[in-house]
Structure 1
Amino acid sequence: MQYSIKRYDLRKNLVATGLLTITSEGQTTHLKYTDSEVNESVSELYHPISALESLRRVLENKHESIIGCTGCRIDSAYRATGGYGTYIIVYGKPASERASIFQPTDEIEKLCTVEEHKSSYKKWLESLK
């Protein structure tokens, strides 16, 4: 699977458009992001969201960047739902809108870092009580 994905700096300014390649081998997910300046790969066992988190951390820490895919949006469920899917969340409501974590998104204002994502997910869980 391959997607054309935009990369932004941490202030959400467009930096480049690259290629996100997703492959699976048994229970391992391999992700590779490449553009004119960046060439990064990660591999993780089990859930693809773990591989996406690893790639996000590399891009955030090494390149001060975030990528524009659904799994990087603050309104996507952080917890893996199995496979390549996730859910779009709304505070105070159960998740019901299914989405692909690697699907490109143009909703730049919703992109976030891994830590912002984890914090938002915890707040959403609390909002359901």
Structure 2
Amino acid sequence: MTAYGSLETTMAAVNKGAWDYISKPFSPEDCRTLVRKVLELRKLRHKGMKLQPAKVEESKFIGSSAMMVDFYKQIARIADSSASVLIEGESGTGKELTARSLHNMSSRREKPFIIVHCGAIPDNLLESELFG
């Protein structure tokens, strides 16, 4: 639990072995969700599954506003998701930085990171290029 939910605090906690974190103020539902996740991890460990916390490299993000802290939490939450993630935004808003952060925090960080500039792909091929 932390009162200062910056990305640096999150990265330090994860690198020291934390599986998750919760920032103040938090709701009872936030606390219940976190406890459920911990109990699920215990079940997986009991079944003999080897789980390792992700190592996180130094971030290039700056900012500690409430909105940025929520953004950092989202990155940490979805980093090990198997779902496809579509990052949208105007030029210069940090889409590639966000994608690199997600990749570097994920269990797939040792695999290639491939940049796709969608503006260079013809509209009629974009969907098949991205989603097969």
Using structure 1 for the length normalisation, give the TM-score: 0.25
- Higher helix proportion: 2
Q: Which has the higher strand share?
A: 1
Q: TM-score, normalised by structure 2?
A: 0.25
